[in-house]
Homo-oligomer: A and B are copies of this chain.
């Protein structure tokens, strides 16, 4: 028996009727709720936990925005929606959704203003030192591989990581601010509540849902729509086994309790298609501080496999998905410094031959790799992976060391990128591309802007963006 999908004609009593039911109060759900009520829709938002926030509140708070935001301008960076579009289309995986990415870029300045208008503070300062989450309260950071090959040749780089003003971790502040706005808005909030089933008419229309609160089931009728904003599925081991088994090698899963795929499964049971279920974001923050980008990353064949100066999410994807997390960062004495997030030195030696023996790499393999690398680095070149000149120097000052980037020793942080197939208005689509009437979704319960390559801030970013669009579309419907 299918269990997630119910016939509304079986309902004896509707406990409540609303225009829009939002399922999940992370950043996508908060944005959807605020926009729905701004449109005048009678809105109920439910949240599995005892309070709002979800995985968004556990994140670094980076929001990927650009195209010339006031913060970018204040920090002296030029950007345009077109350059942002070119970058995202090139970096977000093999076949990003053009329409979504275009809207996301064109609407990014407005999205920044909307966040500021809702009280999210951004200090008008730029932080250079690391990618992603600055240890300071600065507002703007590099959060993707914009300046690394090949993207630097495809689009004019600009930093697009926008971080709420607080030291260390912006996510809790972001969600504190947005949840307070949700509390103040006309929407009703219901905590400790999950959605266990959708009510679907025989013609496909979603007309309500079963909401469970402390074991009690309530039938909620929706006049305009249900917005699924529940998050991804990185905590669902069975789904990971099926769709992204390598992610299980990661020693950190970026998730709140709710990232169990429940919302995706609700949609699928209603006939929705899914997209990119095997796509994952894998962070391997080994090149923090950035001086370590001068190191050389090798795999179990003693070969390089990535340009070391790229975004740490790309390092993680390449190391985990293509090399099963068998990787080491080679440094020499001149560039040696302690990495921020890991420090296990797997081997040291006065020659690369010693290093490769200690690492049990094939004899001669690391020597050959380093010989080619050094030969070109001396000229400030890297024809193999096109690392930028800024981080190129021959590794020729022994002793040499190898930082351990294997999954047993290095921080690999994973979350899922695949989910429900939606259109740019957050309508959940069936496999023919037709909307399932009354069903909307946003955030990591959907396949969003990043379909295979990630930059920090894209999940908070597209959660807000398509959460708002879903709420507007649902408000217009019927």
Chain A residues within CB distance 8 Å of chain B: 1-7, 9-10, 94-95, 202-204, 238, 241-243, 245-246, 261, 264-265, 268-278, 301-304, 322, 362-365, 368-369, 371-372, 375-376, 383-385, 421, 430-437
Contacts and interface: CB of A to CB of B under 8 A. Distances in A.
B431 A9 contact: no
A9 B3 CA distance: 21
A214 to B, nearest CB: 22
Contacts of A7: 202-203
Nearest to A264: B431
15 contacts: A3-B430, A94-B246, A202-B202, A242-B275, A242-B421, A264-B431, A276-B278, A302-B384, A322-B322, A362-B376, A363-B375, A364-B372, A364-B375, A365-B383, A365-B384
Nearest to A9: B202
A271 B372 contact: no
B268 A431 contact: yes
Contacts of A261: 431
A235 to B, nearest CB: 15
Contacts of A243: 275-276
Nearest to A240: B95
Q: Which of A245, A246, A372 has the most CB of B within 10 A?
A: A372
A4 B364 contact: no
A434 B3 contact: yes
Contact of A301 (B246, B268, B384): B384
A61 to B, nearest CB: 31
Contacts of A375: 363-364
Given A4-B430, A301-B385, 8 more contacts: A2-B204, A9-B202, A202-B202, A265-B432, A268-B431, A302-B384, A364-B371, A365-B384
A304 B301 contact: yes
A397 to B, nearest CB: 21
A304 B300 CA distance: 12
A474 to B, nearest CB: 17
A260 to B, nearest CB: 11
Contacts of A301: 303-304, 384-385
Given A270-B271, A302-B384, A203 B245 contact: no
Contacts of A431: 4, 261, 264-265, 268-269
A48 to B, nearest CB: 17
A280 to B, nearest CB: 12
A204 B246 CA distance: 33
Contact of A1 (B268, B372, B434): B434
Contacts of A362: 372, 376, 383-384
Task: List the 7 closest pairs (A to B, CB-CB), nearest first.
Answer: A7-B202, A2-B204, A362-B383, A265-B431, A368-B368, A95-B245, A94-B245
A245 to B, nearest CB: 4
Contacts of A372: 362, 364-365, 368
A270 B271 CA distance: 6
Given A268-B431, A384-B362, A1 B275 contact: no
Contacts of A273: 265, 268
Contacts of A432: 2-4, 265, 269
Contacts of A264: 431
Contact of A2 (B1, B271, B363): B271
Contacts of A364: 371-372, 375-376
Contacts of A269: 271, 430-432
Given A269-B430, A371-B368, A437 B1 contact: yes
